[in-house]
Chain A
């Protein structure tokens, strides 16, 4: 058990809609969760002082009107950026999943070096899927050697790939030009890639579900403490979330104890808390009477 549960802020606003499963995953991973409305946090920025982790969940913030994450990103830049940068500079972790990833891209946080005061002009984007459709499907992703050390670490415990669902219409990762992509690779910012189920490179759609350049599913900032990804590990937490749980059990003859996405959140919480702790037993209920 963690000595005192580290505090994670789940940041939400109108249209964020994956807060419930994100809170569940964080709590199962050992965090104490503070669900805060963006406008409340802007008025009370000291709440960041108590937290080691800020998570922006998925959803359709402000309807994703104009572009996914655009308005939330605008509000972050204008109302919270300074303190959020300081939070990261002093060791805080930030995770954005799906819409949260789109928001972080819009905010410009991925392209800022630690300690810099100014957020540089944006050179990356998440845009309409190549299919021009919203799609919900399960894919495989793999953590790459990157600045996000805990993620690469988590991968050891997770074998080569992790099954996760994606559900988005604007998840296609785009870099302004080849040099931007080169810079991301060089700085270890390519944290997650879509792969085939067997761990080999994705062979186009649907293994790469949205047409992202270089099969990029998630990136981190140069410090590795700000991570964003399109897939939803928090939707593969119970033993019964995996689309093949019955087939896997029929094959192995064993009951699953948890979903693969839980290890992702466990490592994240531990990395943010800065302590190495044994994994937490999962409290999935025994069979109901």
Chain B
């Protein structure tokens, strides 16, 4: 089958049955040598994992369809210069309406192509390159387009063609995502067409005036508006006062603006918590903490796209973390990618825009070792989801040149149908760029990608529960990102910012232009001409243009006198930027299309007219018996098991796929130690070469504490996020935190009660540690409906921390560094096993969830920071999941050194009587090894620094518990003094490497 590197043109001697074959030049490109087709081995591997046998080999190829109007010489040149590699590839060109040559008899061709209208960045690049290089000068003409597809030639065992249903299964579970892609098995009828236009319809009015509740509910549901009856009533009343019906455009605008995703109605609503009336939970808890702390270095909190804090030399840093859960459940790769793209745009759109310098990610998925047959209908296997979201974050972040430096993976059965995908971005910006303001008369300029039907109703979609058909019905809600389009916007935007060519900016996120323009126009007014918006393909209705969530777009307010200069900057970076309207001071948002008025909204009603329903919340701690803890006989085996758990095991397979070094700022990498395979507590960057100040980025979360005790969970995960940044050298007094709640539906009073407790826990802890919240987000409908059953995720709170490191040269990593130095354990260990991995392993439920002592923990962290900043600590690691045993093991194999650890010297404290459930343990060694008590650190201290270190920590539980040795073993002696185990660090390393590596 090897063909010479030169391309062949099929002669198509007899007219083949061309019915349904694409009227386009077809180019297919294959590798000449299978050794340069690593993807084929990958396909066979995934078939094996799916239990699909009977395949002997796979050959993968790439295909392109080019307009039939091209000359053959043009196609030849395009293939020679652009589409194939002269050293590696064999290419085939087929004339329009002909079928490609048949594969070898034992092989079947499977083609995977994007559905019509689904974004295809490669096709866009090919089209641009054909035009720019002059190979096809007409490639930028309207109506010219290119499509791409992937080819799999799959050979069955014993030279038989593989069964069709086998291929269908492989395609469905591995090769393609049928939400966005079509699969053709042994069928060459690829589609070469753009999406059909919407039927033109003038102004459409929606008859609300006389509708009763049932009709209002139906209108909301059928229009995918996700508006409650109370909200529909409010709209009805508003338009009755104006004596008219709302237009479709207006109703869509209101639905987008009032969506839970954009408005956070639960967090800002009124809650009746067991008789206690809470007016605006967010204001009463999280925002209150920030207000009360009133840190002078807080520059901009809560009101903009991200929180901003002061850094150094006139520069600020900003941070935002977002969820992208529902799109990722349907299309893990695309969902996670657009999640990254979206949060990066938040950073581009905060103040006057910041330069993204780091990304973070956190994934919550079902059990990775789940049996295939146990995966519910309509769900993907957790492994496929995790691989997909990792690849999505990788491809978007790497392409944009933003290092992904911090994150985590948590696994729990509650996430099977509704995985959680968090993406965060840190930005760097001059202090003067922290503010923005729109002025009447400013032009509305949209810049970046073109608008298509991508992600229609994304904002309302993310506010409903997923169900079995989600995979099918929601394809319109999936947006596909194009990282380079966003990189172009970034490059142009920062130049325009520094020339001060615009006065305000925001990103097009959920709700698209309707949210972006609507938000910027608040307090002013705006008139938008929807037909000015550049489209990917013709035929979008005005409503589609207005609410499309097509990616990579920003909206600016440009003073007319700067318009020309501004457009020039964007043009030089090859970014389309056009004026679509003007801000005014009418207080109204007027939408026009082709001169026709499609909508005329009262901005006061749009932003302030949401009814605030009273919601019931309650909380009764579930009566859980205090489990008696059996004595563990084999601590060595327990430790090895813990090290291999999904939450604890090495994330190296993920981290290595992320470019965590780009921009050259890294001081501490995600993986540290002798072999760079040990988990660092937090990443440290040096954002300015001219300053030795750094930033540390860490996070905390638990999938298991929240069900038992949401209040304790909030305090514990804040403690964890702070431990991480303190351990590497961050300054607690210059640390900001972010909250991201993912919850099930809060229509259930118990669940809303849990949210209230968690939010209150957040406020308590933030005030105690002196670490203000600067930004946050909530995603409150994380449920999966399976037949009659609804499965909600465990209440999940991700806390991200951003801390200033006073001197990067004092950064400390967690790997042991020097034989003969001492190991100190700082912080008291308590019998806290609720939600611990140890209990998980023992199959025990209940127990006390770890909870920091909010009085002493902040002081302890400050004292430890002082010890680190003065250079008295060689290595520092926080104790978290898996407790002391796991932390000690990680430090030892990280350093490639041995460690002797004495449990008898571990500072121990019993629980105060307040605990609802106190775990009694008959296993003093297990208690010390696996308790997940908060506010604890292991510190390696050189003999010569020991006195100074002890002095600095004298007011806190802290003890010399071990020595660093050259034995390459972790040797642990129990409370009785007897050796519990003595295990080689290579064995620890192997256990930690885990059994799932992507």
Contact = CB atoms under 8 A, between A and B. Distances in A.
Contacts of B674: 244, 247
A287 B664 contact: no
A159 interface: no
A134 B398 contact: yes
B676 A137 contact: yes
Interface stretch (B267-275, B598-606, B635-643, B683-691): B683-691
Interface string B502-539: 00000000000000000000000000000000000000
Interface stretch (B118-126, B414-422, B854-862): B118-126
The CB with the most chain A CB atoms within 10 A, among B39, B132, B664, B812, is that of B664
Contacts of B401: 17-18, 59-60
B87 A232 contact: no
Contact of B691 (A63, A74, A288): A288
Interface stretch (A121-129, A140-148, A217-225): A121-129
Nearest to B39: A132
B82 A66 contact: yes
B484 A66 contact: no
A59 B397 CA distance: 11
Given A24-B689, A125-B85, A167-B659, A237 B398 contact: no
Interface stretch (B453-461, B618-626, B803-811): B803-811
A133 interface: yes
Contacts of B655: 136
Contacts of B568: none
Given A65-B122, A238-B689, A247-B674, A132 B82 contact: no
B910 interface: no
A39 B574 contact: yes
Contacts of B39: 128, 132
A186 interface: no
Given A66-B126, A235-B664, A17 B400 contact: yes
B423 interface: no
A83 interface: no
Given A78-B133, A135-B656, A250-B874, A14 B574 contact: yes
B818 interface: yes
Nearest to B398: A134
B394 interface: yes
Given A39-B574, A66-B122, A285-B692, A176 B662 contact: no
A150 interface: no
Interface stretch (B374-382, B471-479, B665-673): B665-673
A133 B657 contact: yes
A288 B122 contact: no
Interface string B105-136: 00000000000000001100110110011100
B815 A247 contact: yes
B384 interface: no
A277 B657 CA distance: 40
Contacts of B62: 66
Contact of B664 (A24, A59, A246): A24
B82 A70 contact: yes
B41 interface: yes
Nearest to B400: A17
B656 A136 contact: yes
A87 to B, nearest CB: 21
B127 to A, nearest CB: 10
A37 B488 CA distance: 12
A222 B429 CA distance: 44
A203 to B, nearest CB: 15
B992 interface: no
A20 interface: yes
B693 interface: yes
A41 interface: no
Interface in A244-263: 244, 246-247, 250, 255
Nearest to B658: A136
A60 B657 contact: no
B727 interface: no
Interface string A8-29: 0000001101101100110000
Contacts of B134: 78
Interface in A186-245: 232, 234-235, 237-241, 243-244
B142 interface: no
Contact of A74 (B82, B394, B572): B82
Contacts of A250: 817-818, 874
B765 to A, nearest CB: 29
Interface residues of A, number: 68
B312 interface: yes
Given A74-B81, A238-B686, A134 B125 contact: no
Contacts of B103: none
A131 B38 contact: yes
Given A71-B129, A134-B659, A247-B674, A63 B484 contact: yes
Given A70-B82, A134-B657, A174-B88, A247 B817 contact: yes
A24 B483 CA distance: 25
A135 B657 CA distance: 5
B601 to A, nearest CB: 37
B661 A136 contact: yes
B484 A74 contact: no
B394 A134 contact: yes
B3 interface: no
A96 interface: no
Given A20-B663, A75-B133, A246 B399 contact: no
Contacts of B42: 132
A235 B667 CA distance: 11
A54 B344 CA distance: 30
B660 interface: yes
Contacts of A121: 86
A174 B36 contact: yes
Given A14-B484, A237-B664, A285 B657 contact: no
The CB with the most chain A CB atoms within 10 A, among B42, B122, B132, B672, is that of B132
Contacts of A25: 664
Given A60-B399, A62-B128, A239 B483 contact: no
Interface in A42-79: 58-60, 62-67, 70-71, 74-75, 77-79
Contacts of B488: 14
Contacts of B672: 243
Contacts of A175: 87
Contacts of A129: 38
Contacts of A133: 656-657
A122 B87 contact: yes
Given A132-B42, A241-B666, 6 more contacts: A63-B483, A124-B87, A137-B676, A167-B659, A255-B809, A286-B692
29 contacts: A15-B399, A15-B484, A20-B663, A21-B663, A37-B572, A40-B572, A63-B482, A66-B82, A66-B129, A70-B85, A74-B81, A75-B129, A75-B133, A79-B133, A130-B38, A131-B38, A134-B659, A135-B657, A136-B659, A137-B656, A138-B676, A167-B398, A240-B809, A240-B811, A241-B666, A246-B813, A246-B817, A287-B807, A288-B693
Interface of B: 36, 38-39, 41-42, 62, 81-83, 85-88, 121-122, 125-126, 128-129, 132-134, 312, 394, 398-401, 482-484, 487-488, 491, 572-574, 655-667, 669, 672, 674, 676, 686, 689-693, 806-809, 811-813, 815, 817-818, 874
